Amino acid sequence: MNNESRPYTLIAELTYRCPLRCPYCSNPLDFAEHGNEIDTDTWLRVFQEAEELGVVQLNLTGGEPLLRNDLERLIEEARKIDLYTNLITSGIPLTFERLSRLRALGLDSVQVSVQSARPSVSDRIAGVPSFNRKLDVMRWVTSLDLPLTMNVVLHRENISEINEFIALAERVSADRLELANTQYLGWALKNRSALLPTREQIERARTVAAEAKARLRGSMEVLFVTPDYYTDYPKSCMEGWGRRFIVVNPEGLALPCHLAHTIPGLRFEHVTQRRLGDIWHHSAGFNRFRGEDWLPDPCRTCERRVLDFGGCRCQAFHVLGDAGMADPACSLAPGHDFIESARAQAGRTTGVPVLFEYRTGRGRSAR
């Protein structure tokens, strides 16, 4: 295996079930139609096969991974094979006792998502009362000496709270603060006009984040991810297709990114039917956009191709209808006018009340 395509991180989406129903959820729109979740033994085999491929980081995510009652076992076994285990969670439902147990079994870090720094707004965005419990959970994490990442998905309605988010992260002694702007795919693309901030909002937030980053350097890492709708060049999606990450979804489908299977015509395989190593190296889906041979114009001759690998394939498909085209977020790409018009629309609708279409589906708790 050459170093160009070595996975360092396995993103294990343990379930699509979630007590929250955020309108920018990155799960597929049809998540409720998906079938059974793979069982404990299958996950343990996947961890082992991933480790053999070179994976050292394990992200346990979902949906809400806490809803899996075998989480303890998964963390315990991951630790035995020396994986660095990150729990990516909403914090709901959790008790201090369970978190202590997970830590004792080998959990390495916890990322908690916060929808807003204001309780009532947070609860409205999440669709369920959850803010106060999240505060408790973050305090439990740091009281157990676990590194805490506070994650915020920024959008039009909460981006003006940037100072409050930073203050909150400091108050709960977060180790990292991720200020990630919404990626406009899945539920977020459906809700884009309600979510996309204006350029002024982005600039203001970026300035505040940069100041906090400098001030807190060494004690808290502050990451600000500009939405690609406002960058001149596309993001380096997953650091390149099939290059650094493997996603295994709740049904056991192995993917280069969590939405890759929403692109029609690509063939992906299940970990129940083939070894992960074989899938990674040989499956048609993983090889489709690997390397440079597939690159379209203008990426093919662009010197930035080694930085962004042509951008996001899902965005090319969901915006332009063709996953093989350059990411339209790129100002050099055909189809960029679609992004420009979305930006213009964001500028025109400032102040218009936000209406979300909540993530809904079978299996969702009604709490």
Partner 1 sequence: MTLTTIRPRFSPKVRLRFDRRTGRHLLLYPETGLQLNHTATVIARLCTGEWTVDDMVEQLTQAYGDVSPDEIRREMCEFLDVLSHRGLLQGMA
Could you tell me the CA-to-CA distances from 295 to 160, 290, 299, 324, 330 in Å, in that order?
38, 9, 6, 8, 14
Distance CA 82, CA 316 (A): 37
DSSP labels, 28-60: -TTGGG--PPP-HHHHHHHHHHHHHHT--EEEE
Backbone angles phi, psi at 48, to 5 degrees: -60, -45
Distance CA 296, CA 289 (A): 11
Cβ at position 322, least distance to partner 1 in Å: 32
Decide if residue 6 touches partner 1 (CB under 8 A).
Answer: yes
The region of 90-98, 141-149, 249-257, 344-352 touching partner 1 under the rule CB under 8 A is 141-149
Cβ at position 209, least distance to partner 1 in Å: 16
* Nearest of 197, 117, 199 to residue 157 by alpha carbon: 197
Written as six digits, the tokens of 236 are 């380096």
* Contact with partner 1 (CB under 8 A) among 115, 149, 181, 283: 149
Return the number of the residue (97 or 145) whose C-beta is nearest partner 1: 145
The region of 15-23, 29-37, 50-58, 155-163 touching partner 1 under the rule CB under 8 A is 50-58
The region of 107-115, 128-136, 185-193, 280-288 touching partner 1 under the rule CB under 8 A is 107-115
* Contact with partner 1 (CB under 8 A) among 40, 48, 54, 119: 54
Return the number of the residue (10 or 194) whose C-beta is nearest partner 1: 10
Cβ at position 284, least distance to partner 1 in Å: 25
Distance CA 203, CA 263 (A): 32
One-letter amino acid identity for 70?
Answer: D
Return the number of the residue (83 or 325) whose C-beta is nearest partner 1: 83
Return the number of the residue (194 or 237) whose C-beta is nearest partner 1: 237
Given the DSSP bridges, would you call strands 253-255 and 269-270 parallel, antiparallel or unpaired? antiparallel
* Contact with partner 1 (CB under 8 A) among 5, 15, 26, 86: 86
Decide if residue 57 touches partner 1 (CB under 8 A).
Answer: yes
Decide if residue 89 touches partner 1 (CB under 8 A).
Answer: no
Range list of H helices, 144-272: 162-171, 186-190, 192-195, 199-215
Decide if residue 111 touches partner 1 (CB under 8 A).
Answer: yes
* Contact with partner 1 (CB under 8 A) among 73, 98, 176, 290: 176
Decide if residue 175 touches partner 1 (CB under 8 A).
Answer: yes
Return the residues of window 178-237 that contact partner 1 according to CB under 8 A: 217-221
68 burial (CB, 10 Å; 0-12 / 13-18 / 19+) is buried
DSSP labels, 243-304: TSEEEE-TT-EEESSTTGGGSTT---EETTTS-HHHHHHH-HHHHHT-SSTT--TTGGG-TT
* Contact with partner 1 (CB under 8 A) among 97, 145, 293, 303: 145
* Contact with partner 1 (CB under 8 A) among 70, 72, 108, 170: 108
* Nearest of 91, 86, 90 to residue 108 by alpha carbon: 86
Enumerate binding residues for partner 1 (CB under 8 A): 1, 3, 6, 8-9, 54, 56-57, 59, 82, 84, 86, 108-109, 111, 145-147, 149, 175-176, 217-221
